[in-house]
């Protein structure tokens, strides 16, 4: 095999709680992560000449060693002494710096793709260990589905299937830097009301009861991002007005998603939210 194409799915956070700040600066989290059908496509092609060659449909992204996809390829080439070179092409659909793990999922897809393309036979545990060296969300992106994520995001517990739920995602017109959000996060400002009840949320999701789930869907990072950028709370308000059964900011933002009772309602909301030209909007399903 000399060529492979794989989808790299985005994620949303059905909840996000910060447990504590670690000595190394990272935060210990407790969150429910969910894969959605919005995806980039990663094309990998073996080349005779050595070296990694990266191309991205979004020209504003770096096509060098600062790109997570590049770092993933480099890690695999160095660790497994792979011969020749690799052409990586990213067809980008997931917005960048948006709280949807766009960079992490490209890295995850490159790791998985190289494993197949070069017949390395690595198991998912090994791929996740490698992925963690690139970013905290990469192990989840390798596994996908509905997961409770703990530690810095790498300790994953499978939850009951929550696929096939209609989702609308809106990305207000700002880019958010995750390190900046975490550096502004102040644990002493968080009240019990701001925190998700993760146990109750897991129960509601298992019953696929979105209304009940919405009562427990909280993201403590909203405290930082929404106070910083009004447009994010505006997006959440409009998502609710557009008929979402539940809505929340994903990750450190600024993307806000809504869960809908059915596809028709999701389409109506998508049409309403697409009317704001400065915001990008997608319709998707949980995977
Ligand atoms: O691991 P990743 O590169 O995705 O994380 C980006 C930044 O987000 C980290 O450098 C850190 O500042 C912050 N972060 C954190 N705690 C986490 C995950 C990320 O503080 N669990």
Per-residue pLDDT of 215-242, as tens digits, reads 999 999 999 999 999 999 999 999 999 9
- Residues 150 and 105 reside in one and the same domain: yes
Tell me which residues of the chain have a pLDDT lower than 50.
Answer: none
CA–CA dist 53, 82 (Å, integer)? 15
- Residues 49 and 123 reside in one and the same domain: yes
Atom of ligand 1 at shortest range from CA of 104? 4
* Contact residues for 159 (Cβ-Cβ < 8 A; gap 6+): 32, 145, 146, 147, 148, 202, 205, 206
- Residues 198 and 130 reside in one and the same domain: no
- Residues 88 and 180 reside in one and the same domain: no
pLDDT at 51: 95
pLDDT at 143: 98
| Domain end among 109, 141, 158 | 158
pLDDT at 192: 96
Catalytic residues: 11, 137
- Residues 95 and 229 reside in one and the same domain: no
| Domain end among 137, 158, 179 | 158
- Residues 216 and 76 reside in one and the same domain: no
Q: Domains in the chain: how many in total?
A: 2
CA–CA dist 210, 247 (Å, integer)? 10
**What confidence tens digit (pLDDT) does each residue in 245-285 have?**
999 999 999 999 999 999 999 999 999 999 998 899 999 99
> How far is ligand 1, taken at its centre, from the CA of residue 251, in Å?
11
| Domain end among 107, 134, 158 | 158
- Residues 58 and 127 reside in one and the same domain: yes
pLDDT at 228: 95
- Residues 179 and 253 reside in one and the same domain: yes
CA-nearest residue, atom 14 of ligand 1:
26
- Residues 235 and 98 reside in one and the same domain: no
Which residue range is the domain that position 224 belongs to?
166-285
* Contact residues for 151 (Cβ-Cβ < 8 A; gap 6+): 28, 29
Specify the pTM: 0.96
- Residues 170 and 269 reside in one and the same domain: yes
Residues within 6 Å of ligand 1 by CB? 26-27, 29, 135-137, 152-153, 178-179, 182
Return the CATH number at 263. 3.30.70.890
> How far is ligand 1, taken at its centre, from the CA of residue 205, in Å?
27
């Amino acid at each position: 095999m000399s060529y492979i194409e794989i989808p790299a799915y985005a994620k949303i956070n059905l909840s996000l709680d910060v447990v504590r700040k670690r000595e190394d600066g990272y935060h210990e989290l407790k969150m429910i992560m969910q894969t959605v059908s919005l995806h980039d496509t990663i094309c990998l092609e073996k080349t005779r000449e050595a070296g990694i060659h990266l191309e991205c449909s979004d020209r504003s992204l770096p096509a060098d060693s600062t790109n997570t996809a590049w770092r993933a390829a480099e890690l695999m080439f160095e660790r497994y002494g792979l011969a020749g070179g690799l052409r990586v092409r990213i067809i980008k659909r997931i917005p960048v710096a948006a709280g949807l793990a766009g960079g992490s999922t490209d890295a995850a897809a490159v790791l998985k793709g190289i494993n197949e393309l070069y017949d390395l036979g690595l198991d998912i545990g090994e791929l996740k260990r490698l992925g963690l060296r690139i970013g905290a969300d990469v192990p989840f992106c390798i596994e996908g589905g509905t997961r409770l994520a703990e530690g810095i995001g790498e300790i994953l517990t499978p939850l009951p299937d929550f696929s096939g739920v209609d989702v609308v995602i809106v990305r207000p017109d700002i880019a958010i830097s995750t390190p900046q959000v975490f550096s502004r996060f102040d644990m002493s400002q968080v009240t019990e009301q701001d925190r998700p009840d993760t146990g109750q949320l897991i129960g509601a999701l298992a019953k696929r009861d979105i209304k009940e789930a919405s009562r427990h869907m909280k993201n403590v990072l909203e405290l930082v991002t929404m106070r910083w950028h009004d447009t994010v709370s505006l997006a959440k308000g409009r998502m609710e007005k557009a008929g979402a059964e539940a809505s929340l900011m994903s990750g450190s933002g600024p993307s806000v998603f809504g869960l809908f009772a059915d596809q028709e309602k999701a389409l109506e909301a998508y049409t309403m939210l697409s009317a704001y030209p400065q915001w990008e909007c997608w319709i998707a399903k949980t995977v």
